[in-house]
Chains A and B, each alone.
Chain A
Amino acid sequence: MEMLSGAEMVVRSLQDEGIEHIFGYPGGSVLDIYDAIFQSDKIQHYLVRHEQAAVHMADAYSRATGKVGCVLVTAGPGATNCITGIVTAYMDSIPLVVLSGQVPTNWIGDDAFQEADMIGISRPVVKHSFSCRTAEDIPIAIKKAFYIASTGRPGPVVIDLPKDVQSPLNKFPYEYPESVELRSYKPTLSGHKGQIKRALAALLGAKKPVFYVGGGSIIANASKQVLELAEKLNLPVTNTLMGLGAFPGEHKQFIGMLGMHGTYEANNSMHNADLIFSAGARFDDRVTNNVDKFCPNAKIMQIDIDPTSISKNIHADLPIVGSIEVVLQQMLDLLEETKATNDSESINAWWDQINEWRAKDCLAYQTSETHIKPQQVIQCLYKVTKGDAIVTSDVGQHQMVAAQYYPFKEPRQWINSGGAGTMGFGLPAAMGCKIAFPDRPVVCVTGDGSIQMNIQELSTCMQYNIPVVILLLNNRSLGMVKQWQKMFYGGRQSHSYMDSVPDFVKLSEAYNHIGIKVDTIDQLEPALERAFELKDRVVFVDVAIDPEEHVYPMQVKFGSMQDMYLSQTERTDA
């Protein structure tokens, strides 16, 4: 058998797992692994400028491809810098394997230089973790880590690698396991047959159904089944922020995103439905608004691969545990087999009602002579990219506007931090996507606050020539915070105003990128055209937008789903 050191085993195991890209940052406790990487020609390593960005890059790489993202960092601060990234992935169920160095085993617990209890610190935000105490533990730990990260409800897995375990001085027989079995971990894939029957019957019997599709449908690659079932039964479909793209944004049955900044028609349909059919969504507080007033007349049907997601916030009358793809296929097969249909008359009446809500045109907005509106920027982006770009975003108003005004055609096209809402996600996420798909246009829609949380990655872009487009909706403020302060805090703008935004054009140029400033609406489209034509350069488009614009619709706090502010002056429940 081949004899390898622990460090070599790490690299070989990753290779044998099929890993091509890894994101990281070296340091004392992982020098042996970095030495082994230096000698490998199969794995491309990207050196970031901050470990948080490495995790976001790996995370977005995974979101865009469906593969597991992989990160390598050193002990102590290197590892702890990953925590925000790990939380971000955990909240959105993204499969990652994070390898972090550790002080030698005989120093653990001694407060040695750069010792941090990474296993302990990360425990509440990982799906699982491993600590390798001998080199021989490494291949099996890595195999298990990838298996656990990517199956069931995916999530991040941390592997702690003490320095002595990696030592090049000691060689051990290496063999990478073909497969693993864990007696304590066996995710359920297919749905219970009786439940499938009951679910289909309920769905066929519903007069006012809503198909509520979340990020789980994207993770499970279930878009085909979602579309087929929706079309067969003429169901109105709403997507969560995480589910955008799971159902085509321009499909006539799409009623928009739901929830806090959801459309008037989506939120009203939910509130008035008699059946909510949830696929891979978790009835998150940004969706339900006040749970006591949630969908008062609806029966709740919920498919999720994670039993803890079922009935966590809202009681499910008809729960199905299983993979969304498999369960929906089971339902489709049964539908095919029984040739059953739903009552098209009631469904048509339901559509008439929904179309009335649609006619409100809740996403219409006032343009201005003096200011560019953020909505215009996203609509222009859509036009210039023909709706084909991978769009990553940061967190704030710009994120919501992107979600509302760029109808995503496909799953894995909209990459954002929904569960954690991590500012600083957007740029490294765009880089991760571009590395995965060098030939596709990738744009990071960002805000002046968010972009500065990982702006150092412009340097990584320069080093590896990762030509993403950065589209900054610059309102010179922490817009979303300011919106809340204006609406709920008597307009007191406590620390939401950015008094010193840098000259982003100059800043980009300092990194040898191209910066374009857009101050008027007529400059917008040419600037974006140019940005996407310059395929091999990073282009930073800094658009001065109306700093007073708010995001609407917006649900009224403590209200039901249908209670919304529709503009600065209009409120549904007033």
Chain B
Amino acid sequence: MRSIISVLLENEPGALARVVGLFAQRAYNIESLTVSPTNDLTLSRMTITTEVDCKATLEQMMKQLHKLVDVLRVSELTEGAHVERELLLIKVRTSNNEDREEVKRTCDIYRGQIVDITQHLYTIQLTGAGVKLDAFIDTINNASEIVEVVRSGVCGIARGEKALRG
């Protein structure tokens, strides 16, 4: 099953390495990982998406994360109402006007933005849940040639009152 784990940890050298090392050491899988300082610059917020075989593995993973001395809080997002977003930057090449129109249209439908243009290249920015980005990439592939794809990995937050604070 797919899980999204939020981690609040000390913004200190080595803290990220400890988390990544833990996943490698215990043979846990990381699908994506994002990390950045929060409004409180002494803290970093991390979102990890992972695939686990059962609930017990997920629990053990969260306990192991929490055991790291640098880690303040750990919570799982998919169990409750949450918002997850990922940023996609994609560069595509088009050869004729018709395709350019198609790219533009697809972009509009998905609420993407074209952030850079050269004669044949469009760079498009799109945010959303992973599945939406997947679908967009599939669609745009029909109208253009994909030159490169950059995805930020998932950022997640719980809806409502629930919050991960220091």
**Interfacial residues, chain A to chain B (CB-CB below 8 A):** 119-120, 123-124, 127-129, 131, 148, 182-185, 306-308, 311-312, 315
Q: Which of B69-77, B110-118, B123-131, B133-141 contacts A (4 or more CB under 8 A)?
A: B69-77
Of residues B59, B66, B67, B71, which shows the largest number of chain A Cβ atoms within 10 Å of its Cβ? Answer: B67
Measured CA separation A184–B9 after assembly (Å): 8
Q: Are the C-beta atoms of B25 and A184 separated by less than 8 Å?
A: no
Measured CA separation A315–B57 after assembly (Å): 12
Shortest Cβ distance from B53 into chain A, in angstroms? 15
**Interface on chain B toward A: helix, strand, loop, or mixed SS?**
helix
Closest residue of chain B to A306, judged by CB? Answer: B67
Q: Are the C-beta atoms of A123 and B17 separated by less than 8 Å?
A: yes
State which residues 1-60 of B face A: CB under 8 Å.
9-10, 13-14, 17-18, 21, 25, 56, 59-60
Q: Is B94 part of the binding interface, using a Cβ–Cβ cutoff of 8 Å?
A: no
Measured CA separation A465–B64 after assembly (Å): 44
Q: Are the C-beta atoms of A184 and B71 separated by less than 8 Å?
A: yes
Of residues B9, B14, B17, B25, which shows the largest number of chain A Cβ atoms within 10 Å of its Cβ? Answer: B14
Pick the contact of B66: A148, A307, A312 (CB < 8 A): A307
Q: How many B residues, CB 8 Å from partner?
A: 20
10 A-B residue pairs with Cβ-Cβ distance under 8 Å, sorted by A, are A123-B18, A123-B21, A124-B25, A182-B69, A184-B9, A184-B70, A308-B60, A311-B59, A312-B60, A315-B56
Measured CA separation A512–B71 after assembly (Å): 52
Pick the contact of B69: A131, A185, A306 (CB < 8 A): A185
Measured CA separation A306–B66 after assembly (Å): 11
Measured CA separation A225–B18 after assembly (Å): 36
Q: Is B166 part of the binding interface, using a Cβ–Cβ cutoff of 8 Å?
A: yes
**Known A123-B17, A129-B14, A308-B63; further 6 A-B contacts with Cβ < 8 A:** A124-B25, A182-B69, A184-B10, A184-B71, A308-B64, A311-B60
Q: Are the C-beta atoms of B63 and A184 separated by less than 8 Å?
A: no
Q: Are the C-beta atoms of A127 and B13 separated by less than 8 Å?
A: no
Q: Are the C-beta atoms of B72 and A128 separated by less than 8 Å?
A: no
Shortest Cβ distance from A180 into chain B, in angstroms? 12
Q: Are the C-beta atoms of A127 and B63 separated by less than 8 Å?
A: no
Shortest Cβ distance from B150 into chain A, in angstroms? 27
Q: Are the C-beta atoms of B21 and A307 separated by less than 8 Å?
A: no
Measured CA separation A131–B72 after assembly (Å): 20
Closest residue of chain A to B59, judged by CB? Answer: A311
User: Which A residues touch B25, using CB under 8 A?
Assistant: 124
Nearest 7 Cβ contacts at the A-B interface: A128-B69, A184-B72, A308-B63, A124-B25, A307-B63, A185-B69, A123-B21
**Interfacial residues, chain B to chain A (CB-CB below 8 A):** 9-10, 13-14, 17-18, 21, 25, 56, 59-60, 63-64, 66-67, 69-72, 166
Q: Are the C-beta atoms of B14 and A308 separated by less than 8 Å?
A: no
User: Which B residues touch A131, using CB under 8 A?
Assistant: 13-14
Q: Are the C-beta atoms of B60 and A184 separated by less than 8 Å?
A: no
Closest residue of chain B to A185, judged by CB? Answer: B69
Shortest Cβ distance from B69 into chain A, in angstroms? 4
Measured CA separation A312–B56 after assembly (Å): 8
Shortest Cβ distance from B80 into chain A, in angstroms? 21
User: Which B residues touch A120, using CB under 8 A?
Assistant: 17
Q: Are the C-beta atoms of B71 and A308 separated by less than 8 Å?
A: no
Measured CA separation A308–B60 after assembly (Å): 6
Q: Are the C-beta atoms of B14 and A127 separated by less than 8 Å?
A: no
Q: Are the C-beta atoms of B69 and A119 separated by less than 8 Å?
A: no
User: Which B residues touch A128, using CB under 8 A?
Assistant: 69-70
Q: Are the C-beta atoms of B69 and A148 separated by less than 8 Å?
A: yes
Measured CA separation A39–B166 after assembly (Å): 44
Measured CA separation A120–B16 after assembly (Å): 12
Shortest Cβ distance from B164 into chain A, in angstroms? 13
Shortest Cβ distance from B138 into chain A, in angstroms? 40
Shortest Cβ distance from A450 into chain B, in angstroms? 27
Shortest Cβ distance from A491 into chain B, in angstroms? 35
User: Which A residues touch B21, using CB under 8 A?
Assistant: 123-124
Shortest Cβ distance from B68 into chain A, in angstroms? 8
Measured CA separation A123–B63 after assembly (Å): 18
Shortest Cβ distance from B64 into chain A, in angstroms? 5
User: Which A residues touch B63, using CB under 8 A?
Assistant: 307-308
User: Which A residues touch B18, using CB under 8 A?
Assistant: 123
Closest residue of chain A to B72, judged by CB? Answer: A184
Q: Are the C-beta atoms of A307 and B67 separated by less than 8 Å?
A: yes
Of residues A129, A307, A315, which shows the largest number of chain B Cβ atoms within 10 Å of its Cβ? Answer: A307
Closest residue of chain B to A186, judged by CB? Answer: B72
Closest residue of chain B to A183, judged by CB? Answer: B72
Measured CA separation A236–B67 after assembly (Å): 33
Measured CA separation A272–B13 after assembly (Å): 51
User: Which B residues touch A148, using CB under 8 A?
Assistant: 69
User: Which B residues touch A311, using CB under 8 A?
Assistant: 56, 59-60
User: Which B residues touch A306, using CB under 8 A?
Assistant: 67
Measured CA separation A393–B41 after assembly (Å): 49
User: Which B residues touch A184, using CB under 8 A?
Assistant: 9-10, 69-72
- A183-B14 contact in complex given A127-B69, A307-B67, A315-B56, C-beta closer than 8 Å: no
